[in-house]
Amino acid sequence: MTHDLPKQDTSRTEFRTWLARNYPPQSKKLWDSMPRVSYRRKHNLAQQLHLNRRIQSFDELVKTFSLEVIYVKSTEETKQARGCALLDQTDPDILKFWEAMQSAWPRRRGSKPRRSFLIGDKKGTKTKKWLELDADKSYLILDAENHQVVMFVIRKAISSDRVVMAASDIVDEATGCRRDLRPYEPGRIVAFGHSAGRRDARVFGNVKNIIKGKSDTVRVHGMNCNALGVASLLWAVVESIVPTDITKDFLDQLDAVNLPPIGADTIDPKGTGYEIKLGMEAYHFPLASRSPPEAYFTRGYSSAGHTDDSIAPFTFGFGLRREISSPADSWKVGLSQRACEALATKLPETIPARPSGGDFVNLKYQIICRNSENLLIMFRPNHLHGSTVPFGATTRSVAFTASRHIIKAWEKSQICTIDRLEGSNAVFSDTDLCD
């Protein structure tokens, strides 16, 4: 039985209605019914994104993207920023309204308001302690003592505005339909891929965090395919930009424990390939490798000062679409309607729109990376870092890391599986599991 496809300018809601009307809702393959483009179109997209490019060294990276190289020294002055909300004191209004903003944000029963830490140099300060990375320049930051790479920032990393917009839309979909990992922090952050479960009962498995429309198998499969496609395509961009020895080391750490690639309950983790939808067209890459197994999508999210326990030396993050609005609107991401009403009485809407907040901060080296659209950043997760509280800017982002607790949960599940299959109580070492 054949059905006429909807027109190319059909809205997403109309397309879903057409999909549900013409196909049975039980099939998980429905999302794949969107018309796929030809091989030539896929080849053109891959060429536009430079997916076949491989950069061999940081010297080549500096020449390719015209990076400004800066040497910095670490400091002990920011240790107390751990667990604190980061306030950019270069914007005086955020200090003026911080108490009102904090009172509107929900927090755990009995918990105290979050402490804050001021970053940046006040206007008029002659002695500059903080290094500000401009929003229109790309940088490579090196340690002044040992010349190790601290971080790099590349603007206009994705050579297609259409991909940036499509990825941003899927981030909006994910953050709107999946459970927030940090409900007591500004903005929303959701996980996709593998998970270790609750902290008090670690169990390895796929993330199960869809809370809106989870009874609709078609919608669940569609959201999983969308998230997988965006994560995998962005990781392909990472591999085309980051020097090969860095990405190889990252993937080798995962291969050493035989950790399966990214997947979901409705997607076979042993398979290959992914699909990303640009408008009403589907770009299907059936043989392409998928992204690492742990990805995070954020919208308007601000993280307090912290470090991440990762088995890899670097974490990679993309900044996608960035909206500039009034501080009140940017602060409402993730808030309930009641909390928004409470905030409106304390934070006047007359504060003008400004591109403030959501900036990455390396606290160990006192670096503020001004955020922008279409940004790729690589940093060391064991350095104390965070992002500034949103006060006018709402950014969508995707990050890739390799958390140690997920690796440990995977190794534990492998030991339990081997014991169950062999019927023995033998204990396997880490070396045995890596062979």
Distance (Å, whole) CA 385 – CA 75: 13
Comparing C-alpha atoms, which of 136, 237, 153, 232 is closest to residue 192? 232
Residue 213 pLDDT = 76
Backbone dihedral angles phi then psi of residue 246, each to the nearest 5 degrees: -75, -50
Distance (Å, whole) CA 386 – CA 190: 17
Distance (Å, whole) CA 133 – CA 319: 15
Backbone dihedral angles phi then psi of residue 43, each to the nearest 5 degrees: -65, -40
- DSSP state for residue 347 in the 8-state scheme: S
Return the minimum-mean-pLDDT range out of 1-5, 95-99, 342-346, 365-369. 1-5
Residue 420: half-sphere exposure toward Cβ, Cα within 13 Å: 6
Q: Is residue 412 part of a domain?
A: no
Q: pLDDT band at residue 433, thresholds of 50, 70 and 90?
A: very low
Q: pLDDT band at residue 434, thresholds of 50, 70 and 90?
A: very low
Q: What is the pLDDT of residues 329-378, one digit of tens each?
A: 777 777 767 777 777 777 666 677 777 888 999 999 999 999 999 999 99
Token code pair at residue 85: 């909300």
Given a cut of 90, is residue 62 above it in pLDDT? yes
Mean pLDDT of 283-304: 92
- Higher-confidence residue: 83 or 201? 83
Distance (Å, whole) CA 307 – CA 165: 30
Mean pLDDT of 124-150: 92
The Cα-based distances of 67 to 60, 312, 375 in angstroms read 10, 24, 13
Which residues neighbour 300 within 8 Å (Cβ) at sequence distance 6 or greater? Answer: 186, 187, 188, 330, 333, 334, 358, 390, 394, 395
Comparing C-alpha atoms, which of 115, 118, 116, 155 is closest to residue 137? 155
Q: What is the pLDDT of residues 28-49, one digit of tens each?
A: 444 445 678 888 999 999 999 9
Q: Name the pairing type of β-strands 274-278 and 281-285.
A: antiparallel
Q: Is residue 354 part of a domain?
A: yes
Q: Is residue 277 part of a domain?
A: yes
- Higher-confidence residue: 425 or 303? 303
The structural domain count of the chain equals 1
Given a cut of 60, is residue 262 above it in pLDDT? yes
User: Which stretch of DSSP H or E encloses residue 62?
Assistant: helix 58-65
Share of the chain above pLDDT 70, in %: 85
Q: Is residue 12 part of a domain?
A: no
Q: Is residue 103 part of a domain?
A: yes
The Cα-based distances of 85 to 116, 297, 389 in angstroms read 5, 20, 7
Q: pLDDT band at residue 81, thresholds of 50, 70 and 90?
A: very high
Cα angle value 23/27/32 (rounded, 5°):
75
Residue 159 pLDDT = 94
Return the minimum-mean-pLDDT range out of 11-15, 223-227, 424-428. 424-428
Residue 175 pLDDT = 93
Which residues neighbour 407 within 8 Å (Cβ) at sequence distance 6 or greater? Answer: 257, 259, 311
Mean pLDDT across the chain, nearest whole number?
83
Distance (Å, whole) CA 298 – CA 322: 12
For the beta carbon of residue 434, count every other beta carbon within 10 angstroms: 11
Q: Is residue 219 part of a domain?
A: yes
What burial class does residue 143 get, using C-beta atoms within 10 Å of its C-beta: 0-12 exposed, 13-18 middle, 19+ buried?
Answer: middle
Q: Is residue 423 part of a domain?
A: no
**In which domain, by residue range, is 280 found?**
23-402
Given a cut of 60, is residue 327 above it in pLDDT? yes
User: Which stretch of DSSP H or E encloses residue 400?
Assistant: strand 393-400
Strand, coil or helix: 266:
coil
- Higher-confidence residue: 126 or 53? 53
Given a cut of 70, is residue 12 above it in pLDDT? no
Q: Is residue 425 part of a domain?
A: no
Token code pair at residue 433: 């599991």
DSSP 144-201: TTT--EEEEEEES-SS-HHHHHHHHHHHHHHHHHB--S-TTSSSEEEEEEEEEEETTE
